[in-house]
Every structure is written in C-alpha cells, then in structure tokens.
A and B are shown apart, each in its own frame.
Chain A
C-alpha cells in the first residue's frame, strides 16, 4: 500500500506599486495600485481567480463528492485570504465548501508569507499566531501541520515546530539532504521528539507543476493514466508520495487549453484504479506511517531554483540590503504600537518582494521573469526601498509624538 499526499500552496502577495522617491513622506498606500499593470493586486487576484481558483475549486468539489477516498491539503497565506475576502469573497466561500467536506486539511504558515524565521524568531511566532487566528476564524480549524514560506526548512525550524506541538512539517525532498534515501517515506527531523517530516517528491510534482504543457518534454502529453502508473511504480517501495505545488498550477501556470483541468478531473479515478493506492492528508500520513529514519538539515533548503537554497530571495546585494533594512527597523516599528504601521511593515516581509529582485534570470531561465510584475529586479528594489524609507519616516514621526514632554517651568 502507498499513499498520495497532495498539498497546494495558495498565495498571492500584495505587490508594491511603482513607488517613487517623491512619494516618500507623502503616500503611505504602498500596495494600492489602480493601473492596468500586474502591480494592481485586485486585477491580478481577479485574473487568477477566473483562470485558476474558481475552475479548480469546482473540480475539486466534484471530485470530493464523487470519491470518498479523495484527500488534499491547502496552505493559504494570510495576505491571500485577506485579498480573497476583500476582492473575491465568492472564491473564499468556494474554498470554505471544500474545507467543510472534512477531507481537506489546512496547514499552518506565517500570515505574511515571510522568511521571518531566519531573521526574527519572535516576529515569526507572531505571524504564525496571526495566521492561526485567521484560519480558526474563517474555517473553524486549528492546523496541526506546519509548512514554512517557500518550503524553507532546516533543523532549527523542525525543532521549533516540534516544541509547538505540530505533528508534521513539510520540506523539499532535495537530493542534497536525502543522499541515497527516497523522499517517499516518512522521516523524523534530528533532535526532535514527536514531529515527523514529509518530503516533496520534486520529480513527480514538477512533472505536473512545470513540465505538464512542455511540448519538447519526451513524456508530453502527460495523461492522468500515465501519471498514476508512475506513482504506482513506487508501490511496495514507498509509503507516501508527496505531491506539493502551487495551486495556481491549475489554470494559471499550466493552461486550461493544454488540458490541465482534464488531467485533474481524471487523476483520482486513474489513481484509484490501483487498489493499493490511496489518498492521505499530511496529518493522516504521519499517523499512518512510522518514521523510517532521521533527516539532518543543518543549512536551509527551499523549493526554488536549481540551488534549492534562499539565493532566489537573498542572493544578491539588493536583496540583502532590502531584507536587512526591513528586519533592522523591527523593534522600533513594534515599539510604536501603531497597528497600521506594524501591518505595513509585515506586508513588506512577504517573500515575493525579494524574489522580484532576483537577478539570476539567465541561469534559471524564465521562471523569475515570468512571475515578475516589475520591469526589472532593480525597479522592484527601488519601489521597495522607497516604501521602506517611508516606513522609517513614519516611525520617526511616532517617536517625536511619543517623546515625554519636558516639564516647562
């Protein structure tokens, strides 16, 4: 018996508008763009909803009704859920319907889809709490499995999640951490007590997420039947096949015209033709299977690029300067107690801002460019730094106000 564990990341950042130096000190609405470009967050969300979330949710609801054995998991960023509630509440409702089936697990992550764990632990914990509260409020659920932004993972994070009582944590099944081991088993992070580790099978996940409509790929076209047979080939030699990907794979990264929704519709049927394959949620996977071995990940592993490290977010000088600028002002921002100011600061922690500043285009192909709403990484950096400088001015204004008035005798 082998199980398939599906987890989809549902996230859209709040992109910073073209924010010029002249706006600093005058305009504090960094995320409100009303242009026709992809910096207009509402426009992007509506487009992604139409192309991806709405049709995919419809299909998943059908599948859940039709196949009682079917399972999946979502991880939503808080910034995405906020945007859904504001711009497309009907889409939020359709997610609720999926979750109400009881067979869709919701994972825990940072509200602001940030890399805060590696920069400011208490801020990270605040964001995880904020996210928990939101998930409870919207879906009535308390998540039990943790996944960090961009699947960024190391031993310390596993220890943290273990301490906080999570039953499982997710990571990239990268060869660099696995060595000769297979990602298709449940593992245990080193130096932890109860938590288990689920590792993404990046080969099979990427077959769908990246290669599905690639006509030069020798396996094109990928049918659900073919894909199910590849999964079944692990039967007897693996406990759980973890297929982790962005939810926008369906309809946005891979297009309807290329047959991605047909693939999705047929997928459970083809899988369940094999009587000893089934579906599990991450929670069920770790309940069902014992850990095979320990996994030691001293340095950070993510799910991006050929390096699988943080270099797509922090690899060059502009990224380094932007991220350190944001975390350096943390204490002062929090000290103001100004809710709006703190919220804006947190929105600037969303990992996508730094990803847009990545200059590795040539080595890693077009992936970065395709998802970049700015004309260049340098333009992304300029808007970001100008906004960050406006934050600093707002902090200073607070400090002036808060300074105790000297007794004027």
Chain B
C-alpha cells in the first residue's frame, strides 16, 4: 500500500482549544504522521500554530472567534439554563455550514485519498469533501450531542447534523465502546462500520512537581479530587453526595474541585446545603503545571461522569502518579484496568471505595504503581496503528 494522503477536517488544535477534542486531534495526527502518513489538517479559521509534522490549511469561515471559543460548553449551556439564547448553537450550526461551503478549494488543491472528520462541527465539511473528491470519509466521534447534554434537551439540529455525518461516513470511529453503543442505539448506525479507537496519552511528558496543598496534608487531611468541566455530563452532584457520606467516616478529607462550568454554582450550593463547605475547595480552571500539581497532590482522583465518551483525565491522573476512581459509564473504563470503578449513580459504592482508598494505604500503593505502568502503554502510537488498519481497508 502506498501511504494514503489524508485530509483531516478538524475544529481546533492546541493551544487554541476548548477541551479534549483539540488535544485528541493533535495526538492522533502527530502519531499518524510519525508512521509516515501525509496529513493535511484543515481548521475553520486562521490561527498561529507552530506545527511542522503536517500541512495546515484554514477554511477562513470569518466567524467571530469569541463566540466560537467553547462549543462544548455551548451546547450544554443551551440545554441547561440559557435556552432562550438560541442564537448560540445557531452560530455553530451556521459555522459548520460555512465551513462546508469553503472546503472545496482545499479538497481540489490536495486531492486526498481519505477524508477524516472530527466531531459534528466538521461533518458537513467532511460530507462535501467526500462528494467532491469521491473518496471515502471517516467520521471520528469524540463526543455526541447526547453525551454533551447528558441527554438533557439535546439540540435537534445538532443531532441531525451528527446523524447525517455518521450515515454518510464509510467508517465511524468512536473513542469508546460506551459511545459505540450510543451510536448504534440512538443514531441507528450499522455496528459493522463502527470501530472503537481509544485515545492515547503521552504520559512520559509528565514531570513530578513540588508538592501542593501541603498545609492541609500536614494537618492530616487526605485529598480527593474532582477535575473537569462542572457540567451535568461530568456528574458533579454525585461527587458531592458521595463526599457527604465519606465525611461521616473520614472527617479529615478535603475535596478539591478543579474546573469550571455551568453547574458550578449548583455544586457550591449543594455543598453548602449539605454542610460540607469547610471540606471543599474550588480552584477554578487550571492548566499545565498547576493542573499537574493538583493531580499530584491528590490521594485519589474521582471521575463520576454520567456519560463520558472517553475520559482522558483518568489517564492523566495515572500519569501524575495518582490513583483513579472512575465511572463505568466512560470509554476509558473499558481499557483502564488498574483503577477503581463504579456506576456513577451508586454513591454508596463510590463513597465506600473512596474511604477504602483513604483508609488502606496499600491500595494506593498498588494502584499508583500498576496504573503508571499501564498508561505508559496506552499511547497515541497504538491508537494510530488501529486507525491505520482502517485506512488500509478503505484505500
């Protein structure tokens, strides 16, 4: 097989990213290019990126960047409290359509062998690229409207665009088996054209940093971490409820909440209502080293997601030498053996496992050691190998 030329239709790349989508696209594209795949990565707007392993193209859709900063939060905001501001997702839908209108020149210029589109915002453009080039299209699914909104008022138009993309695509690549199930059951897609591609992580990039939250630790507190967007999808209310049970048995526990989102106020109110305020710290959104520091300070990372297509933070915890308790309703739980697992709704079990981890020291010792070994093997290179198999089937 001669190496195929791949047109990747993306929405964002780091550092201009709002969440996991950009990180995942970057990790995958880099690993694929290291295996000799020629990638042209298309973004909707011109941004200043220092990337040399693949060619970048910008469709120049001329939309207000500010408004498009955070499409993940947007659909959930829409679903939750700002339902009246319907121009918000409207803007995204418009952006996705303009993106599709402007991709023609790029397709013509490169004449790709494969079109590889990432999430719904790029599917209209992916469909157009497929039609113009007559080449197969891959729909990579990092999240769906149903996960993003936790099933709460999903945007019908977004759902329809998503569905159209999945129907037209020759192959559909969700990031977990949990999402594969949603795609077959809720989008009616033939399971035979779906292949799960788990995300990877470059765990070697993580450095051990000077300890944080030492004053609490010196007072004998154990630290339990919630880190992620504070939205319905991430299950913050289950975290708070489990915390209230934990504190009855282990009063010297500090619950650290890192992240922001539309349920932050609700979460804080719940904390207060249950009388847990003294044992909760809200750090806001953290990036980079600060984020690694809070991971490393924690005795346990808890990811109680209601619906989590993948859940890269669980692997980030492991890379930071921190044990993880993760929701079984996540893609990552299908591959991450050396973690504690729980159904997000089972707060008693969640609390029981948090307490066990704080009480029985050996548990953390083994989870740390084994999960660190494990994440070293969950690399983007392995994910890229699976994607390569799909490319080979298509060309």
CA distance A20 to B367 in the complex (A): 19
Q: What residues on B are CB-neighbors of A20 within 8 Å? A: 348-349, 352
What sequence of 0s and 1s flags, for each residue 365-409 of chain A, a beta carbon within 8 Å of any chain B beta carbon?
000000000011111011001100000000000000000000000
CA distance A318 to B366 in the complex (A): 7
Query: Could you say which of B351, B363, B369 contacts A381, with CB atoms under 8 Å apart?
Result: B363
Q: Does B140 contact A (CB under 8 A)?
A: no
**Minimum CB distance partner of A378 in chain B:** B340
Q: Does B390 contact A (CB under 8 A)?
A: no
A320–B362 contact, CB under 8 A? yes
Q: Does A21 contact B (CB under 8 A)?
A: yes
Q: What residues on B are CB-neighbors of A318 within 8 Å? A: 360, 362-363, 365-366
CA distance A22 to B354 in the complex (A): 12
Q: Does B312 contact A (CB under 8 A)?
A: no
Q: What residues on B are CB-neighbors of A321 within 8 Å? A: 360-362
Q: What residues on A are CB-neighbors of B367 within 8 Å? A: 378
B362–A21 contact, CB under 8 A? no
CA distance A317 to B363 in the complex (A): 7
Query: Could you say which of B337, B338, B359, B369 contacts A21, with CB atoms under 8 Å apart?
Result: B359
Q: Does A359 contact B (CB under 8 A)?
A: yes
Q: Does A217 contact B (CB under 8 A)?
A: no
B366–A317 contact, CB under 8 A? yes
The A-contacting residues of B in range 205-223, CB under 8 angstroms, are none
Query: Could you say which of A320, A376, A377, A386 contacts B341, with CB atoms under 8 Å apart?
Result: A376
Q: What residues on B are CB-neighbors of A386 within 8 Å? A: 356
CA distance A386 to B355 in the complex (A): 10
| Known contacts A359-B338, A382-B360: A21-B355 contact under CB 8 Å | yes
| Residue of B340, B361, B370 with most partner-chain A CB within 10 A | B370
Q: Does B353 contact A (CB under 8 A)?
A: yes
B360–A381 contact, CB under 8 A? yes
**Minimum CB distance partner of A316 in chain B:** B366
Q: What residues on A are CB-neighbors of B362 within 8 Å? A: 317-318, 320-322, 381
B353–A382 contact, CB under 8 A? yes
Q: What residues on B are CB-neighbors of A385 within 8 Å? A: 356, 359-360
Q: Does A118 contact B (CB under 8 A)?
A: no
Query: Could you say which of B352, B363, B369 contacts A378, with CB atoms under 8 Å apart?
Result: B363
Q: How far is the CB of B337 from chain A (nearest CB, A)?
A: 7
Q: Does B249 contact A (CB under 8 A)?
A: yes
Q: What residues on A are CB-neighbors of B349 within 8 Å? A: 20
A382–B356 contact, CB under 8 A? yes
Q: What residues on A are CB-neighbors of B348 within 8 Å? A: 20, 22
Q: What residues on A are CB-neighbors of B337 within 8 Å? A: 361, 376
B356–A21 contact, CB under 8 A? yes
What sequence of 0s and 1s flags, for each residue 202-243 of chain A, a beta carbon within 8 Å of any chain B beta carbon?
000000000000000000000000000000000000000000
B365–A22 contact, CB under 8 A? no
CA distance A345 to B343 in the complex (A): 31
Please report the number of residue pairs spanning A and B whose Cβ atoms sit closer than 8 angstroms.
54
**Minimum CB distance partner of A389 in chain B:** B359
Q: How far is the CB of A358 from chain B (nearest CB, A)?
A: 10
Q: How far is the CB of B372 from chain A (nearest CB, A)?
A: 12
Q: How far is the CB of B289 from chain A (nearest CB, A)?
A: 29
A21–B366 contact, CB under 8 A? no
Q: What residues on B are CB-neighbors of A21 within 8 Å? A: 249, 351-352, 355-356, 359
Q: What residues on B are CB-neighbors of A320 within 8 Å? A: 362
**Minimum CB distance partner of B367 in chain A:** A378
CA distance A45 to B370 in the complex (A): 33
Q: What residues on A are CB-neighbors of B353 within 8 Å? A: 382
The A-contacting residues of B in range 354-391, CB under 8 angstroms, are 355-356, 359-363, 365-367, 369-370
What sequence of 0s and 1s flags, for each residue 310-334 of chain A, a beta carbon within 8 Å of any chain B beta carbon?
0000001110111000000000000
Q: What residues on A are CB-neighbors of B369 within 8 Å? A: 317
The B-contacting residues of A in range 13-69, CB under 8 angstroms, are 20-22
| Known contacts A21-B249, A21-B359: A317-B365 contact under CB 8 Å | yes
CA distance A12 to B387 in the complex (A): 45
What sequence of 0s and 1s flags, for each residue 326-358 of chain B, a beta carbon within 8 Å of any chain A beta carbon?
000000000001101100000011011101100
| Residue of B360, B365, B369 with most partner-chain A CB within 10 A | B360
**Minimum CB distance partner of A388 in chain B:** B360
Q: What residues on B are CB-neighbors of A382 within 8 Å? A: 352-353, 356, 360, 363
A359–B370 contact, CB under 8 A? yes
Q: How far is the CB of B336 from chain A (nearest CB, A)?
A: 10
The B-contacting residues of A in range 280-322, CB under 8 angstroms, are 316-318, 320-322
Q: What residues on B are CB-neighbors of A322 within 8 Å? A: 362
| Residue of A316, A318, A385 with most partner-chain B CB within 10 A | A318
**Minimum CB distance partner of A359 in chain B:** B370
**Minimum CB distance partner of B250 in chain A:** A21
**Minimum CB distance partner of B353 in chain A:** A382
Q: What residues on B are CB-neighbors of A359 within 8 Å? A: 338, 366, 370
Q: What residues on B are CB-neighbors of A317 within 8 Å? A: 362, 365-366, 369
Q: What residues on B are CB-neighbors of A316 within 8 Å? A: 366, 370
Q: How far is the CB of B356 from chain A (nearest CB, A)?
A: 4
CA distance A321 to B367 in the complex (A): 14
CA distance A267 to B341 in the complex (A): 46
CA distance A20 to B361 in the complex (A): 17
Q: How far is the CB of A389 from chain B (nearest CB, A)?
A: 8
Q: What residues on A are CB-neighbors of B363 within 8 Å? A: 318, 378, 381-382
B360–A22 contact, CB under 8 A? no
Q: How far is the CB of B224 from chain A (nearest CB, A)?
A: 15
Q: What residues on A are CB-neighbors of B370 within 8 Å? A: 316, 359
What sequence of 0s and 1s flags, for each residue 238-251 of chain B, a beta carbon within 8 Å of any chain A beta carbon?
00000000000100
CA distance A376 to B342 in the complex (A): 11
What sequence of 0s and 1s flags, for each residue 88-104 of chain A, a beta carbon within 8 Å of any chain B beta carbon?
00000000000000000
Q: What residues on B are CB-neighbors of A378 within 8 Å? A: 338, 340, 363, 366-367
Report, nearest first, the 5 A-B pairs whose CB atoms are least far apart.
A321-B362, A317-B365, A317-B362, A20-B352, A382-B356
For the complex with contacts A317-B366, A321-B360, A376-B341, 15 further pairs of A-B residues with Cβ separation under 8 Å are A20-B348, A20-B349, A21-B351, A21-B352, A22-B352, A318-B360, A318-B363, A318-B365, A321-B362, A322-B362, A359-B338, A359-B370, A378-B363, A382-B352, A385-B359
Chain B residues in the interface with A (C-beta under 8 A):
249, 337-338, 340-341, 348-349, 351-353, 355-356, 359-363, 365-367, 369-370
Can you identify 14 A-B contacts, CB atoms within 8 angstroms?
A20-B348, A21-B359, A317-B366, A318-B360, A321-B362, A361-B337, A376-B337, A376-B340, A377-B366, A378-B366, A381-B363, A382-B363, A385-B356, A385-B359
Chain A residues in the interface with B (C-beta under 8 A):
20-22, 316-318, 320-322, 359, 361, 375-379, 381-382, 385-386
